[in-house]
Amino acid sequence: MRAMLADRTAPIAERPLTAVEIERPVPRPDELLIRVSVCAVCRTDLHVLEGDLAPGKLPIVPGHQVVGVVEQAGPECSRFRPGDRVGIAWLRHTCGSCADCRRGSENLCAGSRYTGYHADGGYAEFTVVAEEFAYAIPDAFSDEEAAPLLCAGIIGFRALSRAEVPPNGRLGLYGFGSSAHVVLQLARHRGCAVYVATRREGHRALARRMGANWAGGPHDRVPEPLDGAIVFAPAGEVVLPALESVRPGGTVALAGIHMSDIPALDYERHLFHEKSLRSVEANTREDGRALLEEAARVPLRPEVTTYPLERANDALIDLKHGRIDGSAILRVQS
């Protein structure tokens, strides 16, 4: 089968992904074999390929926002049948028995494993996933519309919850990539006013077109105190203006899996008045199910730019340099 494979970590400018022919994976008894239709491109893929994260599997087929059709179901599978459309996300395994798993925080499981990092993902014609970690894709979405929801959407959904912005509240978004442009739609559906802070004027223009109440630079003064903010940009220095922008008692959620160092905080200026700073780690399967259900009700419509599978390096380069509005999608099957 066709796949884009990395056998080393390297700056994406060195184009570490190579188009190869590899053997089709064989599903275990509890797994589904998925014929991949599309796979959305995520900044986490960049962190994996450039070595920002601790070493995972090498060589690796990246990609964890996968939409496709069940080609084969193992004998222990019962939820899905061949021909069903399903999605695969970042979280692909948890132990199910630790204290975190038992209390509903499986995203914090020390034994968790991830698609496109610990196991081959969706930058290929076929991939496998345990049936219990696959998602049914609502009919409201095309394949291209559904794919970004499987990480950008799910992480944004969890970050929005962690930011504790009430319905009809004021939300700040710092950075306006794939996840933020999904969250803007969710927040507006909940009646929130949304304020976007991002470096690129093209991203500000997109935010305004999508209904943002204000769009400016990351260090510009937001017109009104915010109930909460989400930092999507992987730049630690952005955390300080985000904290300054929230009202007393407000919360800033950090949505990235990797971030540069956060500068020293001034207690009075950034944290006093019971402001909260919270991180976001991965997601639970319940987050994924809830996001897909709410997104179908909106209905949410991601902005997408499509690339053929063999141009995965180009898509990631464009993502790194901010040249994509919304989400990048790899088209695997024609």
| pTM, full prediction | 0.95
Q: Where are the domains of the chain?
A: 2-150+282-331, 153-279
Question: What pLDDT, on a 0 to 100 scale, did the predictor assign at position 107?
Answer: 97
Whether pLDDT at 53 is above 90: yes
Alpha-carbon torsion angle 196, 202, 203, 207, nearest 10 = 60
- Alpha-carbon Rg of the chain, whole angstroms? 19
Q: How many whole angstroms separate alpha carbon 36 and alpha carbon 125?
A: 5
Confidence of residue 231 (pLDDT cuts 50, 70, 90): very high
Phi, psi (rounded to 5 degrees) for 241 = -65, -30
Average pLDDT over residues 208-213: 97
Q: Which residues pair with 33 in a beta bridge?
A: 72, 128
* Domains 2-150+282-331 and 153-279 alike in fold: no
CATH class of 2-150+282-331: alpha beta
Q: In what order do the strands lie in the sheet with 276-279?
A: 214-216, 193-197, 170-174, 226-231, 246-254, 276-279
Question: What pLDDT, on a 0 to 100 scale, did the predictor assign at position 318?
Answer: 97
Q: Residues 6 or more apart from 204 whose CB is under 8 A from it?
A: 176, 196, 198, 215, 216
Question: What pLDDT, on a 0 to 100 scale, did the predictor assign at position 65?
Answer: 98
Q: Residues 6 or more apart from 110 whose CB is under 8 A from it?
A: 95, 98, 100
Question: What pLDDT, on a 0 to 100 scale, did the predictor assign at position 169?
Answer: 98
Q: For residue range 99-126, what is the model confidence (pLDDT) as tens digits?
A: 999 999 999 999 999 999 999 999 999 9
Question: What pLDDT, on a 0 to 100 scale, did the predictor assign at position 333?
Answer: 86
Q: For residue range 236-260, what is the model confidence (pLDDT) as tens digits?
A: 999 999 999 999 999 999 999 999 9
Q: Which fold has domain 153-279?
A: Rossmann fold (3.40.50)
Q: How many whole angstroms separate alpha carbon 310 and alpha carbon 121?
A: 15
